[in-house]
Amino acid sequence: MSDLQDASGPPLILPFRRQESLECADQMPPMRLGLLAGAGEFPIRFARAARRAGHYVYGLGVKGMASEELYDACDAFRYAPLARFGKAIRLFRKAEVSRIIMAGKIEKTVLFHPFRWIRLMPDWRTIHMWLTYAREDKKDDTLLLAVIREFERDGLIFDSALKYCPELLVKHGFLTNRKPTAAQWKDIKFGWEMAREMGRLDIGQTVVVNDTAVIAVEAIEGTDRCIRRAGELCRRGGFTVVKVAKPRQDMRFDVPTIGVETIKSMHESGGRVLAIEAGLTIILNPEEVAAVADRLGIAVVAVNTEELALRTAA
């Protein structure tokens, strides 16, 4: 990954700044960790990295969402229904885990299925969480913080996955050989401001832009489906995808994440540039992401707010 410098602007070599709250994983003593796993590759990557660092990982995967690969990635693993937090709490306590990590995507669309209460069959602890901590709204932060607060009633404390594997955070610079043009940098700057505002409102983390016009905004559907919707609306392609952390990102959950599937979705939909936030975005299999993006002609760059401000001023 190179420093950010291209022909369309002055050199911008800013230091990569890791979150101060993230401890050095190599200095941590072995611990018994619980993993509350949703969909995607992130829970698998976390479990493997945590075990390599000497930690014991007991995984509970959300039924119908979490990957079966977690059976091999964790020291012990089983599935649990989405709305049975009482059962999950009992299982974690029985496993004698000291800290819990939340990783992977939870498909919130299940909350809008017909007869959802019959499908989910929530237990009393889930109902208590819902009525006590999530009555005001159903934003992502509201729901996930409600889960954390319910678990904390039993002394189960949630940590950031990045406390145990900070190497998953993307560093500042270009990930690919291809770099954004001057016009694409303008779209990145524009999209960045829009994405930060969407994050502040807890709507989504991704905005798709073309020619300084917003094509699509991520909401409940997730990044890949947002990108595909942009492809349907912008048939000429060439758009820019901007994905950022929320202004006050809670690193215990919902940290922006990209992987190879993000790049493939962009290629299939006509995207040409992906801009992500350095130091606050998880990148899965970075070498493969870079190789696939280079092969498909997509520019991937990790930047930050201060840098974009300098680029605009220059």
Question: Do 212 and 235 share a domain, yes or no?
Answer: yes
Query: Is 78 domain-assigned?
Result: yes
> By residue range, what is the domain housing residue 223?
169-313
Q: Given the structure tokens 């991520």, which residue do they identify?
A: 218
Indicate the pTM of the whole model. Answer: 0.84
Query: Is 1 domain-assigned?
Result: no
Question: Do 277 and 213 share a domain, yes or no?
Answer: yes
Query: Is 6 domain-assigned?
Result: no
Which of 16-20, 123-127, 185-189, 228-232 has the least mean pLDDT?
16-20
Residue 107 confidence class, pLDDT cut points 50, 70, 90: confident
Comparison of pLDDT for 167 and 77, the residue scoring more: 77
Per-residue pLDDT at 14: 36
Which of 147, 163, 179 is at the close of a domain?
Answer: 163
Instruction: Compute the average pLDDT of residues 128-152.
Output: 90
Query: Is 289 domain-assigned?
Result: yes
Which of 130, 145, 163 is at the close of a domain?
Answer: 163
In this structure, the number of other CB atoms found within 10 A of the CB of residue 137 comes to 9
Question: Do 155 and 189 share a domain, yes or no?
Answer: no
In this structure, the number of other CB atoms found within 10 A of the CB of residue 112 comes to 9
In this structure, the number of other CB atoms found within 10 A of the CB of residue 15 comes to 7
Question: Do 107 and 150 share a domain, yes or no?
Answer: yes
Per-residue pLDDT at 39: 92
- β pairing state of 173-174 and 299-303: antiparallel
| C-beta of residue 58 within 8 angstroms of C-beta of residue 95 | yes
Question: Do 287 and 214 share a domain, yes or no?
Answer: yes
Question: Do 152 and 247 share a domain, yes or no?
Answer: no
Query: Is 14 domain-assigned?
Result: no
Residue 215: both structure tokens together: 């094509």
114: domain CATH number is: 3.40.50.20
Instruction: Compute the average pLDDT of residues 24-31.
Output: 70
For residue 132, pLDDT over 50 is answered with: yes
Instruction: Compute the average pLDDT of residues 239-255.
Output: 93
Question: Do 151 and 259 share a domain, yes or no?
Answer: no
* Gap between the Cα atoms of 263 and 240, Å rounded: 12
Query: Is 185 domain-assigned?
Result: yes
Question: Do 182 and 101 share a domain, yes or no?
Answer: no
For residue 115, pLDDT over 60 is answered with: no
Query: Is 20 domain-assigned?
Result: no
Which of 13-27, 66-80, 87-101, 234-248 has the least mean pLDDT?
13-27
Question: Do 132 and 222 share a domain, yes or no?
Answer: no
| C-beta of residue 32 within 8 angstroms of C-beta of residue 58 | yes
Query: What DSSP string describes 198-209?
Result: HHHTTS-SEEEE
Angle at 101 between CA 97 and CA 103, to 5 degrees: 145
Question: Do 131 and 204 share a domain, yes or no?
Answer: no
For residue 108, pLDDT over 90 is answered with: no
**How many domains are contained in the chain?**
2
| C-beta of residue 91 within 8 angstroms of C-beta of residue 79 | no
* Gap between the Cα atoms of 14 and 5, Å rounded: 11
Which of 47-56, 109-118, 249-258 has the least mean pLDDT?
109-118
Angle at 31 between CA 25 and CA 36, to 5 degrees: 90
Instruction: Compute the average pLDDT of residues 265-292.
Output: 96
183: domain CATH number is: 3.40.140.80
Query: Is 2 domain-assigned?
Result: no
Which of 163, 184, 217 is at the close of a domain?
Answer: 163
Question: Do 182 and 106 share a domain, yes or no?
Answer: no
Question: Do 73 and 91 share a domain, yes or no?
Answer: yes
Instruction: Compute the average pLDDT of residues 229-239.
Output: 96
